[in-house]
Structure 1
Amino acid sequence: MLRTRVESDEAVAQREGLIRRSSQLMVNWAERWFPDTYVFVVCICIVVAIGATLHTGQPIAVSRAFGDGFWSIIPFTMQMTFVVIGGYVVAMSPPADALLRRLARIPRTSRGAIVFVASLSILMSLINWGVSLIFSGLLVREIARREGFTLDYRAAGAAAYLGLGCTFTLGLSSSPAQLQANASSLPPDLRAISGVIGFNETILTWQNAVVLLTVMAVSLAISFWTAPSRRTSVTAEELGVDLRIDSRADTQSNRPGDRLEFSPVLTIAVAILMSGWVWNAFASGSPFAVLSQLNTYNLLFLMLGLLLHWRPRSFLESFRQAVPAASGILLQFPFYGGIGYMLTKVVNAHGSSASDAIAHCFIGLTDNTGIFSILVGVYSAVLGFFVPSAGGKWLIEAPYIMSAANQTHAHLGWTVMVYNITETLPSLINPFWMLPLLGILKLKPKDIVGYTTIQFLIHAPLVILVAAALMLTFTYHAPVLPPH
């Protein structure tokens, strides 16, 4: 059994620090009790269905909302599927494989490797969370392949997740900040309340930099102190993870029908065809804004993978090997679509949905800007546990959050960021966003959630209090509303 060797080193564990011992207790608990991601999402689904029924008294309407919402995020599901596949295809190309091997040789110790992965994950997430998630996961696999190097595969996997679990909403991947800065993306009712809020009021403020540095420092410190010792580390081999990459059938075929599969002609033709679209996309807007769009990101990664593999046969083989890693996304994401609809689309006799009731319960408790910030953070974290989708959820909740912010004279830009910062915290427990990474690492959520839960327990109160304190450094400005 997996825990046998760790339990035999109990005396060693007792001499380790308090944080590390606490993390190991959490890891042991998660390995024993944390369910598979499918079981997790179905349990949440049942809880939300019961709550929505009690709130609205309309069981048939709740059931109908679940069915209507089940397919509501299929475009996003496919986008996430291609995040995994595109990352895999690029990483399995010879040039990317060489880069990963070079980076994997940098760390000298297991603990250093875990901090190294966490640092790269956090920094890359500020540009694009998809790059952070995929590249960090592949880097962990490459480090784990090093001969004679003992790496706790679970702790390293948790470190690879920190960019998405802690910091991606503080950078250019912040969906609410992107939406608020783009007039054409704002629904008329929200724009009439908040106006357009530029990046200089959200992600480019010095207050956001303070939060980022604080979160990064704390995340790396936790990763360092919770990393198991060499004697108590559990490797990928001990977890039953096969790190080998299937060999690709690149042998030249003599069959005339196969010749194009082994020729770069088609690759060059497709690259030329797409070059005009890529040039137009980047010429029409900010490069960072373009890269923050999942469709653009996925297309660029697939094209990059095609070019790096050069020959279609190699590209097709890598694509085939990548598909199984996305199976959890394809099965489970539709359930989250149903959950979102049950929370937001079914209303009671007063026209209030379950999501509305939760929001008003939190936000209507005070007119103090500091306490208002705390309540927004707590509310965002609570609902984010059930509906982990920052951008789409913001469009639903923003009208009453921003109305309350105006009433309490809270800074609108920082209200967006408080919501932003805390909305991602439940991702450290809810396996929704873990699925692409788990597919790459070939792990289950129970393998890493013990470590990410420690991150959550420390970050949640810290981030909420820091964000609330920083709200007091802002001066309220009434929104600049569009002309009628």
Structure 2
Amino acid sequence: MNLTRTIENIFRKYLPSPFTIAVLLTVLTIILALAFTSSPQNENHFFNILSYWEEGIWNNGLLVFAYQMMLILVLGHVLVLSKPMEKLIMRLTKYVSNTANAAVLVALPTMLVAFFNWGLGLIFGAILARKVGEYAQKKNIAINYPLIGASGYLGLMVWHGGVSGSAPIKVAENGHLKDLMQNISGSALTAQWPEAISTKLTIFSVSNLMVFATVVLVISAVVYFLGRRTRTNPTNLKTYHFDKQEKKYLVGAERLDHSTVLSTFFGILVLSVFLLQYLPALRALNITPNMLNFLMLGLAILLHGSFKRFLLAVEAAIGDVAGILIQFPLYFGIMGIMAQSGMINQISDFFVSISNETTLPIFTFFSAGLVNIFVPSGGGQWAVQGPLVLESASQLGVPLYKAVMALAYGDQVTNMLQPFWALPLLGITKLKANEILPYTLLFMGVGTIIYITALLIF
């Protein structure tokens, strides 16, 4: 399709790596701050801006946030590589009989899993798509493998409204809002910001759960329809192996690394402490990053059955976080400039001047989708765009939880266009971006209609 080739060529020719984009955005922010803001008299404005940038990069609270997001991604990937998850994936593939039901068998579980953890959903969907392709090839079942691969990427269209969504779970953390907004020029006094926005109002609200259920059902129907109407393609796939650990004779203390008893004990210990520490918050449906990561840590150790298998899985997953590790500080620096120079106040005033309580969430949705193209990490995007969204919502009287979800919806839907997070899936499935783009663009269009309708209704 000409459209998908054009989009792929645009990304390849005109969009450099996400790190380079982060550097260019930093330079652009410095220039804009110099042009449109000013410092107190007798102070060097350029030096002040550089100081704001440096302070933002090493903002302790935001660095903790970056580490929390890295753990969410790594532990999610680690869970997929466990034996129980392998058995689940292999069991699902046995129900494949044609492209239509294969696409649903990939799309539906992937979206459900991604609602719990986006890193888990991303790798789960990729491996499930690959195993469905292998099973169909082995059983001589004709399928449209690119559609199956695109279905395995659908978790990235629902993740930010789910349990691991960067913005909703971070604002549920006590003190985050005040820390984020304390340097915003012209904002309300820090004391007037709420301590937290519970996930009961965002992720677990009736409106968000209805939106998620609608997306799951409608998109599942779409992939089924496409599976019935599209042509099949031959595949030539080698067997993808979950566990590449070589068995060897164990000596002395090596037995502890491979001990099922020790790892099971420690996994149960972690989960017991999780219940002891977080059960009240869990009952209140208030999920925080630390809470989610602690649960996944215990589950990952328990499901892998030994520290050795767990650490091998961590080693396999650790490459996923390279972008977060090196790019997040640059996003924090951008936020530091925008917050302390007064740019956020100026931009929010502009949005307030052209918006009202009804249209601001829609503007937020589309702007978040656009920003996601240049800042492909939801956590990084929250650091840059979150203060602007909160400030604008506060001025117009839009509920803060609605503004947060509008950003989350806009960010997640354009993942179907943004190829950055598709790279792990493409590597596992051995597909090319232009093979899945025709389908992911259609998913993005359907999702956009659902999310905008929801923002207008709720």
TM-score normalised according to structure 1 size: 0.71
- Residue 453 (structure 2) aligns with: 466
- Residue 41 (structure 2) aligns with: none
- Residue 87 (structure 1) aligns with: 79
- Residue 456 (structure 1) aligns with: 444
Equivalences for 1:70-109 in 2 at 5 Å?
Answer: 72=63, 75-76=67-68, 78-80=70-72, 82-83=74-75, 85-90=77-82, 93=83, 95-109=84-98
1:36-69 deviation per Cα after TM superposition (whole angstroms, max 9, x unaligned): 9994314523542453243124888579948974
Amino acid in structure 2 at the alignment position of 1:452: T
Q: Secondary structure at the match of 1:430?
A: coil
Write the distance in 2 (CA, Å) between the matches of 1:183 and 1:377. 25
Is the 8 Å Cα contact of residues 57 and 331 (structure 2) preserved in structure 1?
yes
- Residue 28 (structure 2) aligns with: 51
1:145 aligns with 2:134: yes
Write the distance in 2 (CA, Å) between the matches of 1:196 and 1:74. 19
2:147 to 125, 144, 155: 155
Structure 1 residue 303: deviation in Å? 1.0
Is the 8 Å Cα contact of residues 147 and 439 (structure 2) preserved in structure 1?
yes
Structure 2 residue ranges without an equivalent (≥5): 35-44, 183-189
Structure 1 residue ranges without an equivalent (≥5): 1-23, 472-484
Q: Secondary structure at the match of 1:149?
A: coil
Amino acid in structure 2 at the alignment position of 1:344: M
In the superposition, relative to structure 1, how do residues 391 and 255 fare at CA in structure 2: closer, same or farther (>3 Å)? closer
How many residue pairs match? The answer is 429
Structure 1 residue 111: deviation in Å? 2.5
1:170 to 157, 161, 164: 161
- Residue 351 (structure 1) aligns with: 341
- Residue 341 (structure 1) aligns with: 332
1:281 aligns with 2:277: yes
Amino acid in structure 2 at the alignment position of 1:267: S
In the superposition, relative to structure 1, how do residues 356 and 229 fare at CA in structure 2: closer, same or farther (>3 Å)? farther
1:424 aligns with 2:388: no
Q: Secondary structure at the match of 2:354?
A: coil
1:186 aligns with 2:177: yes
1:178-215 deviation per Cα after TM superposition (whole angstroms, max 9, x unaligned): 44455444326566145754455444444334433443
RMSD: 4.2
Is the 8 Å Cα contact of residues 166 and 379 (structure 2) preserved in structure 1?
yes
Q: Secondary structure at the match of 1:286?
A: helix
- Residue 303 (structure 1) aligns with: 301
1:249 to 243, 246, 249: 246
Is the 8 Å Cα contact of residues 363 and 401 (structure 1) preserved in structure 2?
no
Structure 1 residue 236: deviation in Å? 5.8
Is the 8 Å Cα contact of residues 199 and 287 (structure 2) preserved in structure 1?
no
Structure 1 residue 115: deviation in Å? 2.1
In the superposition, relative to structure 1, how do residues 260 and 56 fare at CA in structure 2: closer, same or farther (>3 Å)? closer
Query: Whose RCO is larger (CA < 8 A, sep 6+)?
Result: 1
Structure 1 residue 280: deviation in Å? 2.5
Amino acid in structure 2 at the alignment position of 1:377: F
- Residue 4 (structure 1) aligns with: none
- Residue 38 (structure 2) aligns with: none
1:129 aligns with 2:106: no
Q: Secondary structure at the match of 2:235?
A: coil
Amino acid in structure 2 at the alignment position of 1:168: W
Equivalences for 1:353-392 in 2 at 5 Å?
Answer: 353=343, 358-366=347-355, 368-390=356-378
Write the distance in 1 (CA, Å) between the matches of 2:198 and 2:222. 33
In the superposition, relative to structure 1, how do residues 138 and 36 fare at CA in structure 2: closer, same or farther (>3 Å)? farther
In the superposition, relative to structure 1, how do residues 263 and 304 fare at CA in structure 2: closer, same or farther (>3 Å)? closer
Is the 8 Å Cα contact of residues 429 and 453 (structure 1) preserved in structure 2?
yes
Is the 8 Å Cα contact of residues 326 and 436 (structure 1) preserved in structure 2?
no
Is the 8 Å Cα contact of residues 126 and 428 (structure 2) preserved in structure 1?
yes
Structure 1 residue 299: deviation in Å? 0.9
1:416-451 deviation per Cα after TM superposition (whole angstroms, max 9, x unaligned): 322332232232233454455456546665554443
Structure 1 residue 121: deviation in Å? 1.9
Is the 8 Å Cα contact of residues 117 and 139 (structure 1) preserved in structure 2?
yes
- Residue 18 (structure 2) aligns with: 41
1:264 aligns with 2:260: yes
TM-score normalised according to structure 2 size: 0.75
Identity over aligned pairs, percent: 21
- Residue 114 (structure 1) aligns with: 103
Is the 8 Å Cα contact of residues 153 and 235 (structure 1) preserved in structure 2?
yes
- Residue 11 (structure 1) aligns with: none
Amino acid in structure 2 at the alignment position of 1:305: L
Is the 8 Å Cα contact of residues 194 and 412 (structure 1) preserved in structure 2?
no
Structure 1 residue 333: deviation in Å? 2.7
1:223 aligns with 2:211: no
Q: Secondary structure at the match of 2:342?
A: coil
Write the distance in 2 (CA, Å) between the matches of 1:31 and 1:356. 36
Amino acid in structure 1 at the alignment position of 2:133: A
Is the 8 Å Cα contact of residues 339 and 387 (structure 1) preserved in structure 2?
no
Write the distance in 2 (CA, Å) between the matches of 1:249 and 1:365. 62
In the superposition, relative to structure 1, how do residues 266 and 372 fare at CA in structure 2: closer, same or farther (>3 Å)? closer
Structure 1 residue 143: deviation in Å? 1.4
Amino acid in structure 2 at the alignment position of 1:83: L
In the superposition, relative to structure 1, how do residues 454 and 359 fare at CA in structure 2: closer, same or farther (>3 Å)? farther
Amino acid in structure 1 at the alignment position of 2:247: D
Structure 1 residue 286: deviation in Å? 0.6
